[in-house]
């Protein structure tokens, strides 16, 4: 268990303003809105989880001087981003000792929306919850008034950077990569919902919080707003509404009742963002359709896949890409149902996305092989004798016949997808309603 060091003068001022912080800081543990039967030290992993127990990877306490040196004294040239918590800087730090690594250092903005509570929750959550699709927290600094978090550096930035052109990211994500990112994010969410005990509700799922490691591997970040899920016969956690406008589930925004299905709604918005390349909230002149969910819904009902898909995906002329986008849209709108109980579980989302990713990979491979064979055959026919040409054409016909096996796999995949969708549809026969949130 990681314990934060003394909070110094800042803690004294905060306790004076809010006596409840005295209890929080006395044992250095945040107290999110959760059933009283749970304590902070009950967070654990099942025996089959992917939590890393390597002592060299335990969260460490760093001094402010160490982090200032690592980031070149927090110069503007070292800044790589800014969010609700504060500014983020790139630096180099020995972690573990003797191994120089790139790190991302996040500094709390004392005038920002977040404070000690979010800092403590982040340290607690990421010190105990370790998974390949969650960012790795190396350590923290709680020296005097300073609140800093030290993470493993993610070289490819955030999904938001890629989709909306923030920062210096220029490479366009293709459909296969976008669906793999969605799958990785869903696996991280599944870990929080199904493996962590007690389960964790992320509460701030958005493209800005999905970071990309080498190979565009998705990692969920920013756990300052995370909450422990309900226990026993409780169906929800009542809490102050927090999160990002455009991603919040409507029932949570209106009642403050937080459930696992609130995260599923946010995931549906992320899916739409990946498919369309649009921001979750557009210009005010668009009226109700400024909300991405409302803009895409009528087009989805009319099956106008090409109009919904991001033009940068160039799906026109590729039937398999249109089919894959259609499947992804169907899954997205199941996640966006008004009735929270009708939304799929994260396990079902992972299964559906895994099917989409495999479908795209198989079709891309077949298209690549077909093109390569055609070009090679054309070159060889041009320089061959009539007999040799006849022989090569016969071989090509045999290869085409062998493609029957690939078609059988495609049919089997389609059956699995259809069964998955039928299972999800049985939860609700109602189509998703338009979100009337302005």
Q: In angstroms, what CA-CA distances link 386 with 154, 187, 311, 376, 398?
A: 57, 55, 45, 17, 19
**How many CB atoms are located within 10 Å of the residue 154 CB?**
21
Q: Could you report the per-residue pLDDT of 200-220, keeping only the tens digit for each?
A: 999 999 999 999 999 999 999
379-395 average pLDDT score: 52
pLDDT of amino acid 372:
54
Whether 90 has a pLDDT exceeding 80, the answer reads yes
392-420 average pLDDT score: 56
User: Where in the chain are all domains bearing CATH 1.10.510.10?
Assistant: 159-337+346-355
Q: Of the given ranges (57-71, 74-88, 212-226, 413-427), which has the lowest mean pLDDT?
A: 413-427
Whether 143 has a pLDDT exceeding 80, the answer reads yes
Note the CATH number of domain 8-152: 3.30.200.20
Q: Which residues belong to the annotated binding site for ATP? A: 106
Which of 204, 213, 222, 310 is flagged as catalytic? 204
320-352 CB burial, b ≥16 within 10 A, e <16: bbbbbbbbbbbbbbbbbbbebebbbbbebbbbb
**23 catalytic per annotation:** no
User: Where in the chain are all domains bearing CATH 3.30.200.20?
Assistant: 8-152
pLDDT of amino acid 30:
37
Q: Could you report the per-residue pLDDT of 103-132, keeping only the tens digit for each?
A: 999 999 887 777 888 899 999 999 889 999
Is the separation of the CB atoms in 227 and 203 below 8 Å? Answer: yes
- % of the chain at pLDDT higher than 90: 50
The CATH-assigned architecture of domain 159-337+346-355 is Orthogonal Bundle (1.10)
Q: Of the given ranges (148-152, 233-237, 343-347, 405-409), which has the lowest mean pLDDT?
A: 405-409
- Model pTM score: 0.75
**Which carries the bigger pLDDT value, residue 213 or residue 229?**
213
pLDDT of amino acid 159:
95
Q: Which residues belong to the annotated binding site? A: 106
Whether 327 has a pLDDT exceeding 60, the answer reads yes
**Which carries the bigger pLDDT value, residue 169 or residue 26?**
169
Is the separation of the CB atoms in 357 and 437 below 8 Å? Answer: no
pLDDT band at 366 (very low <50, low <70, confident <90, very high): confident
349-370 average pLDDT score: 88
Per-chain mean pLDDT for the chain: 79
**Which carries the bigger pLDDT value, residue 53 or residue 282?**
282
279-305 average pLDDT score: 89
pLDDT of amino acid 386:
56
């Amino acid at each position: 268990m990681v314990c934060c060091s003394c909070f110094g003068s800042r803690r004294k001022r905060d306790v004076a303003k809010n006596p409840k912080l005295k209890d929080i800081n006395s044992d250095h543990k945040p107290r999110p809105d959760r059933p009283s039967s749970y304590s902070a030290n009950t967070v654990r992993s099942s025996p089959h989880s992917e939590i890393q127990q390597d002592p060299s990877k335990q969260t460490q306490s760093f001094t402010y001087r160490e982090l200032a040196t690592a980031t070149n004294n927090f110069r503007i040239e070292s800044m790589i981003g800014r969010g609700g918590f504060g500014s983020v800087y790139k630096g180099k730090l020995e972690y573990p000792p003797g191994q120089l690594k790139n790190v991302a250092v996040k500094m709390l903005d004392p005038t920002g929306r977040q404070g000690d509570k979010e800092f403590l929750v982040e340290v607690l959550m990421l010190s105990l919850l370790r998974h390949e699709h969650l960012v790795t927290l190396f350590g923290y600094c709680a020296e005097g008034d300073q609140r800093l978090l030290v993470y493993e550096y993610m070289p490819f930035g955030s999904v938001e950077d890629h989709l909306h052109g923030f920062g210096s990211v220029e490479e366009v994500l293709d459909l296969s990569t976008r669906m793999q990112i969605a799958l990785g994010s869903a696996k991280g969410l599944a870990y929080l919902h199904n493996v962590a005990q007690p389960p964790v509700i992320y509460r701030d799922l958005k493209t800005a919080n999905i970071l990309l490691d080498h190979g565009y591997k998705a990692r969920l970040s920013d756990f300052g707003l995370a909450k422990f899920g309900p226990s026993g016969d409780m169906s929800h956690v009542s809490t102050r509404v927090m999160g990002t406008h455009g991603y919040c589930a409507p029932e949570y925004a209106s009642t403050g009742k937080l459930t696992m299905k609130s995260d599923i709604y946010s995931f549906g918005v992320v899916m739409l963002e990946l498919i369309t390349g649009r921001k979750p909230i557009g210009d005010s002149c668009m009226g109700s359709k400024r909300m991405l969910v409302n803009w895409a819904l009528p087009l989805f009902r009319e099956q106008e896949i090409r109009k919904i898909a991001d033009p940068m995906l160039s799906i026109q002329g590729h039937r398999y890409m249109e089919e894959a986008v259609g499947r992804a849209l169907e899954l997205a709108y199941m996640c966006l149902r008004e009735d929270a109980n009708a939304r799929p579980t994260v396990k079902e989302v992972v299964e559906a996305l895994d099917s989409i990713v495999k479908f795209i990979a198989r079709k891309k491979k077949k298209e690549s092989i077909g093109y390569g064979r055609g070009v090679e055959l054309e070159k060889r026919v041009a320089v061959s004798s009539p007999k040799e040409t006849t022989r090569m054409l016969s071989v090509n016909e045999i290869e085409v016949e062998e493609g029957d096996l690939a078609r059988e796999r495609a049919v089997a995949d389609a059956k699995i997808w259809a069964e998955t969708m039928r299972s999800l549809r049985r939860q609700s026969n109602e189509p998703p309603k338009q979100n009337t949130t302005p």
